[in-house]
C-alpha cells in the first residue's frame, strides 16, 4: 500500500496529496510547521508540538481550521495508517491558495498536511565522537523582523547558515543573534556546561523555544543539575567544559569543537552523556 498522507480532513495516497501552485505556503513561505518523533508507536510530546504549531499560527494571523484536539487525532491517525513504530511526523499548515500578492485576505482554505515517515538520524559514530561545528556569518533573523520563536515555513535564514556549515564539512552550524550573542544552531538548540552548571540562551536571545530543549532542562532539574538560561557569548562556548545540542531529530548530541577550538577534553563530556541517556530513556518511555 502506498504512503498515506493526511490532507485537510482525510487520508489520501501520497500520489494524490497535492496543494495548489497558488498556495502562499509555496509562493511566500507563508505557513507554519512542526517536526515530531514517534518512539515505539508513541508520538512524543504531541500536545507540546500541537500547541507550538497553534502559537506559531496565531503569531502570523493564520487560523487553523480545526481545534488542537482534532489536529492531534490527525497525527495519531496518520501514524497508524502508515504503521509507524519509530519515525518522524511533519505537520504543515499553509496559508492556502490565493491571488498573486501578499494580501492574506485574498487567500482561502489553509491546507493541513500530516506526513508520517521514517527518519534519517546522525550515525552512532557521531554520537560517540561528538560534532565539530563552525559559527555562520549569517546571523539568526532579527526578532523584530521575523521572530525565531515562530516555526514558519520560511527557513531560508537557517538554510543559508546551514550551507556555510556543509561547505565547511560540518553537520550543524552555530548562529549568533543580531547582538552578536549565541542564539542556536540551524535546527537545534545549544547548551554548555561550565563548572557543573548547565547554561542555555534564553528565548529572548532570538531562538526557537525547542521542545527538546525544555524537556532536557526539566530532566536536568530532576537530576539536581543546576540550569541557567543566560546570555552566552562565543567566549563562553569556546571556554566551556562541555557543549551539546538538542532537537527533535538529534535528541541530545555532543559538540566537541567549535571554530577550531576544542571544547573541554575534545570528547563528549560526562554531563552531556548523562543527559543523553536520561533523554533517551524518557523519550522511549522507560
Q: Which residues bind ligand PXG (CB under 6 A)?
A: 35, 158, 184, 187-189, 208, 210-213, 246-249
Cα 50 from chain centre: 13
**What is the CB neighbour count within 10 angstroms for residue 154?**
17
User: Closest approach of Cβ 33 to ligand PXG, in Å?
Assistant: 9
Question: Could you tell me the CA-to-CA distances from 161 to 63, 69, 131, 137, 165 in Å, in that order?
Answer: 30, 35, 16, 7, 7
Per the annotation, the verdict on 41 as an active-site residue is: no
Between 97 and 192, whose beta carbon lies closer to ligand PXG? 192
User: Catalytic one among 151, 179, 199, 262?
Assistant: 151
The residue (of 143 and 210) whose beta carbon lies closer to ligand PXG is 210
- What distances in angstroms separate CA 225 from CA 67, 73, 229, 235, 284, one per listed residue? 38, 36, 13, 22, 22
- Smallest distance, Å, CB 143 to ligand PXG? 13
Q: What is Dmax (Cα atoms) for the chain?
A: 57
Taking the complex as a whole, the smallest distance from the CB of residue 191 to ligand PXG amounts, in Å, to 12
Instruction: Specify the residue, 38 or 97, whose C-beta has the smaller distance to ligand PXG.
Output: 38
Residue nearest ligand PXG, Cβ-based: 35
**Is the separation of the CB atoms in 248 and 36 below 8 Å?**
yes
Number of CB atoms found within 10 A of residue 84's CB: 18
For residues 130 and 12, the answer to whether their CB atoms sit within 8 Å is no
* Least Å from the CB of residue 213 to ligand PXG: 6
d(CA 49, CA 44): 9
Q: Which is nearer to ligand PXG, 62 or 217 (CB)?
A: 217
Residue 97 vs 131, nearer CB to ligand PXG: 131
Cα 137 to Cα 14, 50, 162, 201, 228, distances in angstroms: 38, 32, 11, 19, 27
Question: Which of 253, 149, 258 lies closest to 204 in space, CA to CA?
Answer: 149
Smallest distance from the beta carbon of 36 to ligand PXG, in angstroms?
8
Residue whose CB is less far from ligand PXG, 49 or 132? 49
Helix axes 211-222, 270-283, angle to 10 degrees: 110
Nearest approach, Cβ of residue 275 and ligand PXG (Å): 14
Cite the active site residues. 151
Amino acid at each position: 500500500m502506498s504512503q498515506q498522507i493526511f490532507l485537510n480532513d482525510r487520508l489520501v495516497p501520497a500520489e494524490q496529496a497535492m496543494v495548489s501552485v497558488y498556495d502562499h505556503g509555496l509562493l511566500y513561505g507563508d505557513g507554519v510547521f512542526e517536526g515530531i518523533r514517534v518512539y515505539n508507536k508513541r508520538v512524543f510530546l504531541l500536545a507540546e508540538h500541537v500547541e507550538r504549531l497553534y502559537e506559531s499560527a496565531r503569531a502570523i494571523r493564520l487560523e487553523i481550521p480545526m481545534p488542537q484536539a482534532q489536529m492531534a487525532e490527525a497525527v495519531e491517525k496518520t501514524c497508524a495508517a502508515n504503521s509507524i513504530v519509530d519515525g518522524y511526523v511533519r505537520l504543515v499548515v499553509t496559508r492556502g491558495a490565493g491571488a498573486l500578492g501578499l494580501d492574506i485576505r485574498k487567500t482561502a482554505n489553509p491546507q493541513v498536511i500530516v506526513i508520517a515517515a521514517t527518519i534519517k538520524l546522525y550515525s552512532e559514530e557521531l554520537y560517540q565522537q561528538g560534532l565539530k561545528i563552525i559559527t555562520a556569518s549569517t546571523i539568526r533573523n532579527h526578532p523584530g523582523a521575523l521572530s525565531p520563536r515562530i516555526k514558519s515555513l520560511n527557513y531560508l535564514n537557517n538554510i543559508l547558515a546551514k550551507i556555510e556549515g556543509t561547505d565547511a564539512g560540518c553537520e550543524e552550524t552555530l548562529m549568533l543573534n543580531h547582538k552578536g550573542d549565541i542564539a542556536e544552531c540551524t535546527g537545534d538548540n545549544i547548551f554548555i556546561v561550565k563548572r557543573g552548571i548547565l547554561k542555555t540562551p534564553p528565548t529572548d536571545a532570538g531562538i526557537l523555544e525547542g521542545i527538546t530543549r525544555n524537556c532536557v532542562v526539566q530532566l536536568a532539574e530532576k537530576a539536581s543539575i543546576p540550569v541557567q538560561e543566560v546570555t552566552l557569548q562565543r567566549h563562553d562556548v569556546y571556554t566551556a567544559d562541555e557543549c551539546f545540542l538538542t532537537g527533535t531529530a538529534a535528541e541530545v548530541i555532543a559538540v566537541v569543537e567549535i571554530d577550531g577550538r576544542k571544547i573541554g577534553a575534545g570528547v563528549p563530556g560526562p554531563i552531556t552523556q548523562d543527559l543523553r541517556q536520561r533523554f533517551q530513556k524518557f523519550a522511549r518511555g522507560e
